[in-house]
């Protein structure tokens, strides 16, 4: 396939949609839908100025801290629970229940317990997005190859080095699947916790605009969230490609043979 054709496939439909959007908003100014040019200028005005430091950055920092804590906690607990059968049986029904609670209902609970502050939002992010990482890690640890496990035991690999060189690599494909899911849940919970109770942040700003009927500004906020979502998915793909390079290599060899 020629490069030109590839580019056409890549940008064709998005371009068509933008042209349609432009053409449809050309005539009568619509109250609900801004024109593309209007959105771009508003986007720049709103998010490149003061709001970048007062709303955008705090949201991103909270999200970042929450996700790092989620992933660390999820992997550590997952390895612990996955390694001991009795612990797994003990916690399984409980985990099943906690995972089934829709995470947004925990926002009012954490507001009650912690109050409206940064810690509350970080806790909300952790409490909702930890389950995919935790459960996938447990599954991954459980499914470690028996032969590899016995071999490393025979060689006297125990404790930390066993986790580092056997368990973590073996479970990493599963863990990455969990991490990918938890990223998008984390973003959702960041927005929800800010919409519910906060005095700064992207979610708070969007609701503020919507209540003030500042429609182009509101759309620009929605666009910011969309861009963060896309950035997160690109970042997770890049990390996954790096961490799991060996795994995809193995898969390819298996497929070829």
Partner 1 sequence: MNSRMRNTKVSNAILGLTGILLFLLAWEIAPRLGIVRERFLPPASEVLVTLFEYFGEGAFWKDVGETMLAWAIGLTLSVVAAVVLGLIIGSSSFLSKSTYTTIEFLRPIPSVALIPLAVLLFGVTIESSLLLVIYASFWQVLLQVLYGVADVDPVAENTAKSYGLGPFARARYVVWPTVLPYLMTGIRLASAVALILAITAELIIGSPGLGYQIALTRSGGAVPEMYALIVATGIIGIIINFGMRFIEKRVLAWHSSVRSEVGA
Q: HSE of 230 in the Cβ direction (CA atoms, 13 Å)? A: 6
Handedness of CA 18, 41, 210, 183 (dihedral sign): positive
Shortest distance (Å) from residue 108 CB to partner 1: 4
**By the 8 A CB rule, do 72 and 133 touch?**
no
Shortest distance (Å) from residue 68 CB to partner 1: 19
**By the 8 A CB rule, do 106 and 66 touch?**
no
Identity of the residue, 90 or 165, whose beta carbon is nearer to partner 1 in the bound complex: 90
Identity of the residue, 88 or 162, whose beta carbon is nearer to partner 1 in the bound complex: 88
Question: Measured at the alpha carbon of residue 138, what is the angle toward residues 90 and 104, in degrees to the nearest 5?
Answer: 85
**By the 8 A CB rule, do 125 and 63 touch?**
yes
Identity of the residue, 75 or 129, whose beta carbon is nearer to partner 1 in the bound complex: 129
Identity of the residue, 157 or 243, whose beta carbon is nearer to partner 1 in the bound complex: 243
Identity of the residue, 152 or 177, whose beta carbon is nearer to partner 1 in the bound complex: 177
Shortest distance (Å) from residue 112 CB to partner 1: 6
Shortest distance (Å) from residue 164 CB to partner 1: 24
What is d(CA 237, CA 155) in angstroms, rounded to the nearest whole number? 35
Shortest distance (Å) from residue 215 CB to partner 1: 8
Q: Which residues bind partner 1 (CB under 8 A)?
A: 9-14, 17, 32, 86, 89-94, 96-109, 111-113, 177, 180-181, 184, 187-188, 191-192, 195-196, 203, 206-207, 209-210, 215, 218, 221-222, 225-226, 229-230, 232-233
Identity of the residue, 158 or 212, whose beta carbon is nearer to partner 1 in the bound complex: 212
Q: Give the count of beta carbons closer than 10 Å to the beta carbon of residue 25.
A: 17
Handedness of CA 102, 222, 69, 232 (dihedral sign): positive
Shortest distance (Å) from residue 91 CB to partner 1: 5
């Amino acid at each position: 396939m020629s490069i030109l054709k590839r580019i056409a496939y890549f940008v064709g439909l998005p371009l068509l949609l933008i042209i349609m959007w432009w053409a449809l908003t050309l005539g009568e100014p619509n109250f609900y839908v801004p024109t593309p040019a209007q959105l771009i200028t508003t986007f720049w005005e709103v998010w490149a100025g003061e709001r970048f430091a007062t709303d955008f950055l705090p949201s991103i920092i909270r999200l970042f801290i929450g996700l790092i804590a989620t992933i660390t906690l999820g992997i550590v607990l997952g390895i612990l629970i996955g390694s001991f059968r009795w612990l797994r049986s003990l916690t399984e029904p409980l985990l099943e229940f906690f995972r089934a609670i829709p995470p947004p209902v925990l926002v009012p609970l954490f507001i009650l317990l912690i109050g409206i502050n940064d810690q509350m939002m970080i806790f909300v992010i952790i409490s909702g997005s930890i389950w995919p990482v935790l459960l996938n890690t447990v599954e991954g640890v459980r499914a470690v190859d028996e032969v590899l496990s016995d071999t490393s035991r025979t060689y006297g690999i125990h404790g930390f080095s066993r986790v580092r060189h056997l368990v973590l690599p073996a479970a990493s494909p599963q863990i990455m699947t969990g991490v990918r899911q938890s990223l998008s849940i984390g973003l959702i919970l960041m927005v929800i916790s800010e919409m519910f109770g906060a005095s700064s942040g992207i979610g708070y700003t969007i609701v503020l605009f919507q209540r003030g009927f500042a429609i182009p500004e509101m759309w620009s906020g929605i666009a910011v969230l969309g861009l963060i979502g896309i950035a997160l998915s690109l970042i997770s793909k890049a990390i996954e490609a790096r961490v799991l390079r060996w795994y995809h290599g193995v898969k390819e060899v298996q497929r070829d043979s």
